[in-house]
């Protein structure tokens, strides 16, 4: 009995297998490490207060008083999101290059 020509793999399982999981896991760990370092760059007092306000708000600014919202905005500015993005961008760019090379 002759084998029929194999069909190209287009299912979900083949797409999941095609993901370079080692790259995904490695980059995720590197981004998590960078996030922890960035968080630890804040003074302990600011980290604690930021955590208190975020816990109290549970993601909803209307659960905070106006003065707490203002304080939260001031603390968020100290977090330096742009600095974190600069720290993480090379990690993500490197992942894109590693993924492209495997294809």
The model's pLDDT over 29-69, given as tens digits with 9 standing for 90+, comes to 988 998 898 888 889 999 999 999 999 999 898 999 999 99
Its pTM stands at 0.58
Report pLDDT for 23.
81
Q: How far apart are CA 32 and CA 24, in angstroms?
A: 12
Maximum Cα–Cα distance across the chain: 79
Domain ranges of the chain: 20-102
């Amino acid at each position: 009995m002759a084998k029929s020509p194999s069909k190209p793999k287009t299912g979900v399982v083949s797409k999941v297998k095609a993901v370079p999981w080692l790259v995904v896991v490695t980059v995720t760990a590197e981004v998590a490490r960078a996030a922890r370092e960035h968080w630890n760059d804040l003074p302990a007092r600011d980290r604690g207060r930021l955590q208190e306000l975020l816990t109290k708000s549970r993601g909803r600014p209307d659960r905070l008083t106006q003065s707490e919202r203002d304080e939260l905005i001031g603390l968020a500015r100290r977090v330096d999101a742009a600095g974190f993005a600069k720290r993480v961008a090379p990690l993500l760019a490197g992942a894109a290059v590693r993924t492209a090379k495997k294809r």
